[in-house]
Amino acid sequence: MSWHDAGTFLAAYARARRVDRLTSTSRLEALQSRWLQQFLRQVTAESPFYRGLRQVPFGEWPVMTKSSWMAQFDTINTLGAPLAEVSRIALEAERTRDFRASWRGITVGLSTGTSGSRGIFLVSGRERAQWAGTLLAKLLRGGLASRERVAFVFRAGGPLYDTVGALRVTFRFFDQSRRWTDLCEEVRVFAPTVLVAPARTLRLLGETESRLRPKRVISVAEVLDDLDRAALERRFGVPIEQIYQATEGLLGISCEHGTIHLNEPFLLVEREWQDAAHSRFVPIVTDLWRRSQPVIRYRLNDVLRLRATPCPCGRAATALEAVDGRLDDVLWLRGTNGTDVPVFPDLLTRLIVRTVAPLEDFELAEHERGAWVIRLRPTVAGADARHLVDECTRLARSLGAEPPSIELEEMALVPASGKQRRVRGAPTCVS
Ligand SMILES: [Zn+2]
């Protein structure tokens, strides 16, 4: 990290510390709207794509999906980076696992979506320093003077999560795609006090390295469901926290009460409601601090559930009950009144965890609309199998839908590689 970036890091850290405790919604919104005005002035000056929208009210700006955002890559980014050129760099970095490669000093990251759609991300040194400053401000309750050793085990994109040799805190990135035994060994030797990794990686690390005793365990980048949460809490003996992070940026993080708060006011989050009760929404995100490749009205492929009651910490930033999963993984059943009925992944996860015991692991895949395969380890038979099918039928009926056909299978032991989801929609059902 250069001296200049170190200055940015500290400024971002101080700013995030200051606003993290905002308890007044009106003050949070005032700050957000001031930052938004600033951001829009910059972006309409620097981004060819947004220049033409200067006179258009923000609420009428196009909502982007990953594919439309990629299609406009060359004109959205403010650096004049051509997609063809940076894609080559990103693919080469992915192939060689050498993430130091950059385009004119700008880090190039790659993300792969559920349907295989590829996203390319540009992050400047300044933005990376800002990300690290903001994250550590929220993560380290004892501040930068605490002697925490933070291990961040993640699938790819090294430089996005660079080493921050900041003061007494040691922050280290481990590439999850390395050989598993080497990775375990390195993490054990590092002896993290704060361990951050995707839920399934945490489980495997916990099983492989019995001497690993972090004080805090934080799940990142995958949905943390009840099954993993219970197993992790048993293994590590601490409540499991969460960082809601995507290549698009830091989206949210658990507070000291275990509630995930959205990363407001750094983000502006519009809500696309998924149910009549307004409890679940798909977030449309504007990152007010990202300028190389502006993230504006970007629709994430996630379903978030609002917390019904205020969080005891009093933060004004939106409190979530959970990140329920991907929009692609919402299953659809034929409704008894002819309309399609959504079945959210968390409902199925909770049903299976509640109904099947003992249960080590499971996955539910949708073959086609209304046809599900549930794989369980250990598998169930006889009355237990009937009980599970009955519960699924009952859930469908309570949602006003025709019950699905269900096949039960034994789940194979597979090593965790990359992102995994327990409930998966059929690729053909993804709109
Ligand atoms: Zn809270």
Tell how far the Cα of 69 is from the centroid of ligand 1, in angstroms: 32
Tell how far the Cα of 319 is from the centroid of ligand 1, in angstroms: 7
pLDDT in tens, 204-219: 899 888 899 999 999 9
Length of the chain: 431
- What class is the 330-429 domain? alpha beta
Tell how far the Cα of 294 is from the centroid of ligand 1, in angstroms: 28
Q: What is the mean pLDDT of residues 21-31?
A: 95
Tell how far the Cα of 307 is from the centroid of ligand 1, in angstroms: 10
Tell how far the Cα of 210 is from the centroid of ligand 1, in angstroms: 31
Tell how far the Cα of 42 is from the centroid of ligand 1, in angstroms: 32
Tell how far the Cα of 314 is from the centroid of ligand 1, in angstroms: 6
Closest CA to 397 of 354, 355, 329, 337: 337
Q: What is the mean pLDDT of residues 247-266?
A: 93
Confirm if 81 and 89 have CB atoms less than 8 A apart: no
The larger pLDDT score, comparing residue 416 to residue 302, is at 302
Tell how far the Cα of 251 is from the centroid of ligand 1, in angstroms: 15
Q: In 223-262, where does DSSP find H-type helix?
A: 226-236
Strands (E) across 23-146 are located at 102-103, 106-112, 118-123
Q: Is the dihedral of CA 247, 285, 306, 423 positive or negative?
A: negative
Tell how far the Cα of 245 is from the centroid of ligand 1, in angstroms: 17
Tell how far the Cα of 313 is from the centroid of ligand 1, in angstroms: 4
Tell how far the Cα of 23 is from the centroid of ligand 1, in angstroms: 10
d(CA 10, CA 144): 10
Tell how far the Cα of 21 is from the centroid of ligand 1, in angstroms: 10
Tell how far the Cα of 338 is from the centroid of ligand 1, in angstroms: 41
The backbone torsions φ and ψ at residue 202, rounded to the nearest 5 degrees and listed phi first, read -60, -45
Confirm if 261 and 318 have CB atoms less than 8 A apart: yes
Q: What is the DSSP string of 312-354?
A: TT--SSPEEEEEEEEGGG-EEEEBTTSSEEEE-HHHHHHHHHH
Tell how far the Cα of 20 is from the centroid of ligand 1, in angstroms: 10
Note the pLDDT of residue 390: 96
Confirm if 106 and 99 have CB atoms less than 8 A apart: no
Tell how far the Cα of 310 is from the centroid of ligand 1, in angstroms: 8
Instruction: Supply the pTM of this predicted model.
Output: 0.87
| Residue at token pair 């993993």 | 228
Question: Which are the contacts of 309, defined by CB distance < 8 A and separation ≥ 6?
Answer: none
Tell how far the Cα of 258 is from the centroid of ligand 1, in angstroms: 7
pLDDT in tens, 111-156: 765 555 678 889 888 898 898 889 989 998 888 778 889 998 886 5
Question: Which are the contacts of 172, defined by CB distance < 8 A and separation ≥ 6?
Answer: 149, 150, 151, 152, 163, 190, 192
- Match domain 1-326 to its CATH number in 3.90.79.10, 3.75.10.10, 3.40.50.12780, 3.40.50.2300: 3.40.50.12780
Note the pLDDT of residue 172: 84
Q: Is the pLDDT of residue 408 over 90?
A: yes
Q: Is the pLDDT of residue 416 over 50?
A: no
Q: What is the DSSP string of 377-401?
A: ES---HHHHHHHHHHHHHHHHHTTB
Helix (H, G, I), strand (E, B) or coil at 41: helix
Question: Domain boundaries in the chain?
Answer: 1-326, 330-429
- pLDDT band at residue 1 using 50, 70 and 90 as cut-offs: low
- pLDDT band at residue 226 using 50, 70 and 90 as cut-offs: confident
Strands (E) across 238-339 are located at 240-246, 249-254, 260-262, 267-273, 280-287, 298-299, 302-306, 319-326, 331-334
Closest CA to 410 of 356, 350, 355, 362: 362
d(CA 145, CA 155): 29
Tell how far the Cα of 431 is from the centroid of ligand 1, in angstroms: 34
Tell how far the Cα of 295 is from the centroid of ligand 1, in angstroms: 26
d(CA 161, CA 34): 28
Same fold: 1-326 with 330-429: no
Tell how far the Cα of 351 is from the centroid of ligand 1, in angstroms: 27
Tell how far the Cα of 381 is from the centroid of ligand 1, in angstroms: 42
Tell how far the Cα of 261 is from the centroid of ligand 1, in angstroms: 6
Tell how far the Cα of 311 is from the centroid of ligand 1, in angstroms: 5
pLDDT in tens, 160-186: 445 555 567 788 888 877 788 888 999
Tell how far the Cα of 225 is from the centroid of ligand 1, in angstroms: 19
Tell how far the Cα of 41 is from the centroid of ligand 1, in angstroms: 32
Closest CA to 147 of 101, 102, 194, 92: 194
Taking every pair of Cα atoms in the chain, the longest distance, rounded to a whole number of angstroms, is 67
Q: What percentage of the chain exceeds 90 in pLDDT?
A: 57
Tell how far the Cα of 58 is from the centroid of ligand 1, in angstroms: 30
Q: Is the pLDDT of residue 315 over 60?
A: yes
Q: Is the pLDDT of residue 77 over 80?
A: yes
Confirm if 280 and 305 have CB atoms less than 8 A apart: yes
Note the pLDDT of residue 112: 65
Tell how far the Cα of 253 is from the centroid of ligand 1, in angstroms: 9
Tell how far the Cα of 122 is from the centroid of ligand 1, in angstroms: 31
d(CA 49, CA 63): 13
395-407 burial, b at 16+ Cβ within 10 Å, e below that, comes to bbeeeebebbebe
Give the helix/strand (H/E) hosting 83: helix 83-96
Tell how far the Cα of 321 is from the centroid of ligand 1, in angstroms: 11
Note the pLDDT of residue 417: 44
